[in-house]
């Protein structure tokens, strides 16, 4: 057989990849719509914050029952509030490239009248059920939804540059749902973590607003980075980044945390601070995106370190 030739037995045939069926494509589209409408990515971060509050209040493993309350009822309430937020802003989201593809904007949801009904039930049902056996948990579930929908979305967001400062209290309420689920909502560690969430939220969203500054300028939302210079906005970001990092590191001195917590939190705190310094030096979209991404990493590492640190301390105590 001559070199460079192939026989029928050795000829390689391309592998045919079948296209997804209409049913598969429809299912994927439905799931994508649910993820966007109920902001499940943000809900996940809120539930992680609540989980951190539960671990702190329990001084270790809070138990499956408490975590079930947090992830089940907390997830329902957070998803419901997120959907109400999108329903309220459905007529203005089309002004921004970041939100113009939301299902209530594109018409993907042809009849949106069911959205506020389902969203309200997602909030009301867990609040009523938990009220029968855990009043603090019920209160913080309701408080978080009320702050996000009524205080932030309806009242503050269209009226003031500092809208997200008060809106950050919704994340604080999420932390306290976790500590309430284990029967110790006023635990000092949980209260400090709720303060961290309150400080973290503004610089997280301000760095995003710097990234999408032109989009926000075209909308009627008075976000602070649009009404200041980019460098002034970068300093506003730092005014919340620095105390967030400081309080995060100081949590090491809680009796339920230690070196296992400190090492990863110190690393991500230093990284977040340095990226904010570079944003001040050059308040460009590139550095705004870097701070935004670092803020997500910071929060996730902080909450995981809390969970691991409290459990590790409980094992060796």
pLDDT per residue over 10-56, tens digit each?
Answer: 455 555 555 566 666 678 888 999 999 999 999 999 999 999 999 99
Considering the chain, what is the average pLDDT of its residues?
Answer: 91
Q: Is the pLDDT of residue 86 over 60?
A: yes
Q: Is the pLDDT of residue 105 over 50?
A: yes
Measure Cα distances from 283 to 165, 275, 311 in Å.
Answer: 21, 11, 40
Measure Cα distances from 186 to 36, 58, 182, 193, 266 in Å.
Answer: 33, 11, 11, 11, 26
**How many Cα atoms sit within 13 Å of 117 on the Cβ side?**
4
Distance CA(142)–CA(129), nearest Å, equals 12
pTM: 0.89
What pLDDT, on the 0 to 100 scale, is given for residue 19?
Answer: 53
What pLDDT, on the 0 to 100 scale, is given for residue 2?
Answer: 42
Instruction: Please say whether the beta carbons of 258 and 309 come within 8 A.
Output: yes
pLDDT-derived band at 214 (thresholds 50, 70, 90) equals confident
Dig out the tokens for 168 from the structure: 């950050």
Least reliable range by pLDDT among 45-59, 211-225, 227-241: 211-225
Longest dimension (CA), the chain: 84
Instruction: Tell me which residue of 209, 205, 203 sits closest to 285, measured CA to CA.
Output: 209
Q: State the alpha helices, DSSP H only, in the chain.
A: 22-37, 40-58, 64-69, 75-88, 103-106, 114-131, 135-146, 163-167, 169-181, 188-211, 213-218, 230-250, 259-281, 285-316
């Amino acid at each position: 057989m001559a070199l460079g030739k192939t026989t029928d037995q050795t000829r390689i045939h391309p592998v045919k990849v079948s296209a997804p069926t209409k049913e598969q494509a429809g299912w994927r589209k439905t799931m994508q719509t649910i993820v966007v409408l109920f902001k499940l990515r943000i809900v996940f971060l809120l539930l992680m914050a609540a989980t951190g509050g539960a671990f702190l209040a329990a001084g270790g493993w809070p138990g499956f029952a408490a975590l079930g309350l947090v992830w089940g009822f907390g997830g329902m309430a957070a998803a419901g509030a997120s959907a109400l937020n999108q329903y309220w802003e459905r007529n203005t989201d089309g002004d921004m490239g970041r939100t113009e593809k939301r299902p209530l904007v594109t018409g993907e949801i042809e009849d949106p009248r069911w959205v506020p009904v389902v969203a309200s039930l997602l909030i009301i049902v867990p609040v009523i059920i938990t009220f029968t056996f855990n009043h603090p948990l019920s209160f913080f579930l309701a408080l978080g939804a009320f702050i996000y929908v009524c205080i932030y979305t309806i009242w503050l967001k269209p009226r003031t540059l500092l809208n997200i400062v008060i809106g950050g209290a919704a994340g604080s309420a999420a932390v306290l749902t976790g500590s309430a689920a284990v029967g110790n909502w006023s635990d000092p560690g949980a209260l400090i973590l709720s303060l961290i969430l309150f400080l973290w939220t503004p610089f997280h969203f301000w760095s995003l607003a710097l990234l999408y500054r032109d989009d926000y300028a075209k909308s009627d939302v008075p976000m602070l980075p649009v009404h200041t210079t980019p460098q002034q906005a970068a300093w506003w970001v730092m005014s919340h980044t620095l105390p967030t990092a400081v309080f995060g590191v100081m949590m090491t001195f809680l009796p339920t945390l230690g070196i296992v917590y400190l090492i990863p939190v110190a690393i991500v705190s230093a990284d977040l601070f340095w990226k904010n310094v570079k944003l001040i030096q050059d308040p460009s979209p590139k550095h705004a995106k870097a701070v935004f991404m670092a803020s997500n990493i910071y929060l996730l590492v902080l909450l995981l370190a809390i969970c691991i640190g409290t459990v590790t301390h409980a094992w060796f105590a």
